Structure 1
Amino acid sequence: MPYKANLTKQHHIKKHIYQQSNYSDYNKALKNRGRIDIWISDNILACWQDDYRTHDGTGSSVKYPNSTIEACYYLRMVFKFPLRQTQGFIENILEMLRLETLQCPDYTLLSKRLSQLGFKTPKFKKYEKADDDIVAIAIDSTGLKRFGRDEWHQEKHKVNAKRSWRKAHLAVASNHLIQSAVLTHKNVMDDQVVDALCTQITKPLTHISADKMYDTDAVFETLDAYFPLADIVIPPKDNTFADESHHPKRMTNLISYFALGVTRWQRFKHYGRRNVSETAMQRYKKIIGPKLHSRKFSNQQQEMLIGCGILNRFTQLGMPNSFRVA
Structure 2
Amino acid sequence: MPYKFNDAGRDKFPKAKYRVTNCSEYNESLRRRGDLTIWVSDDVVKNWASPRRKTRGGQARYSDLAIEICLTLRVVFRLPFRQTQGFMRSIARLMGMDLVVPDFSTLSRRGKGLRIAQNRRAASKPITLIVDSTGLKVRGDNGWHEEKHGAKKARKTWRKLHIALDPVTGKIAATELTSEHVGDETALSALLTDIDDDVSRFLADGAYDGQGVVDCLIEKFGHEVEIIIPPPKNAVHGKNAQRNHHIDVIAQNGRMNWQTKTGYNERSRVEAQIGRWKQAIGDRLQARDFDSQIAEAKIASKTLNRMTALGRAAYERVV
TM-score where L is the length of structure 1: 0.91
- DSSP-derived class of the 1:92 partner: helix
Taking the TM superposition and a 5 Å limit, the aligned residue runs for 1:116-155 are 116-119=113-116, 123-126=118-121, 133-155=125-147
Once residues 24 and 256 of structure 1 are traced to their aligned partners in structure 2, the CA distance between those partners, rounded to angstroms, is 44
Per-residue CA distance 1:128-168 (angstroms, 9 max, x = gap):
xx865452111100000011121222211223041110000
CA distance 1:308–1:54, change in 2 (3 Å): closer
CA spacing shift, 1:125–1:315, aligned 2, 3 Å: farther
1:112 aligns with 2:112: no
Alignment of 1:306-317 (within 5 A): 306-317=299-310
- Kindly provide the amino acid, as one letter, of the partner of residue 93 in structure 2: E
Moved more, 58-67 or 290-299: 58-67
Give per-residue Cα distances to partners, 1:179-231, cap 9 Å, x unaligned. Answer: 11111110111111111122221111121110011111111121122223221
Q: CA deviation at 1:93?
A: 1.3
1:185 matched to 2:179:
yes
Asked if the contact 1:242/1:254 (under 8 Å) is kept, the reply is yes
Q: State which of 258, 269, 272 in structure 1 corresponds to 2:265.
A: 272
Q: Tell me the SS of whatever aligns to 2:235.
A: coil
Name the counterpart of 1:196.
190
CA distance in 1 between partners of 2:120 and 2:10 (Å): 37
Q: What letter is aligned with 2:261?
A: F
Q: What number of residue pairs does the alignment pair up?
A: 316
Mapped partners of 2:60, 2:125: distance in 1: 37
Counterpart Cα distance in 2 of 1:259 and 1:222: 29
Alignment root-mean-square deviation, CA: 2.1
Matches within 5 A, 1:213-252: 213-227=207-221, 228-243=223-238, 246-252=239-245
1:212 partner amino acid:
G
Q: Match for 2:235: what amino acid? A: T
5+ long unaligned stretches in structure 1 = none
Q: Which runs of 5+ in 2 are unaligned?
A: none
The within-5 A match list for 1:1-326 is 4-49=4-49, 58-99=56-97, 101-119=98-116, 123-126=118-121, 133-158=125-150, 159-174=152-167, 175-227=169-221, 228-243=223-238, 246-326=239-319
Question: Contact 2:237/2:243 (CA < 8 Å) preserved in 1?
Answer: no
Q: 1:81 to 1:15 in 2, by over 3 A?
A: same
Q: 1:317–1:26: structure 2 CA closer, same or farther, 3 Å change rule?
A: same
The Cα of 1:257 is off from its aligned counterpart by 2.1
Kindly indicate whether the alpha-carbon contact (under 8 Å) linking 2:140 and 2:157 is maintained by their aligned counterparts in 1. Answer: yes
Cα-to-partner distance string for 1:277-311 (whole Å, 9 max, x where unaligned): 10111111111110111111111111111101111
| TM-score where L is the length of structure 2 | 0.93
Structure 1 residues 80 and 96: alpha-carbon distance in aligned structure 2, compared to 1, 3 A threshold: same
Between the aligned residues of both structures, percent identity stands at 34
Give 1:7 deviation, angstroms.
2.6
Tell me the SS of whatever aligns to 1:229. Answer: coil
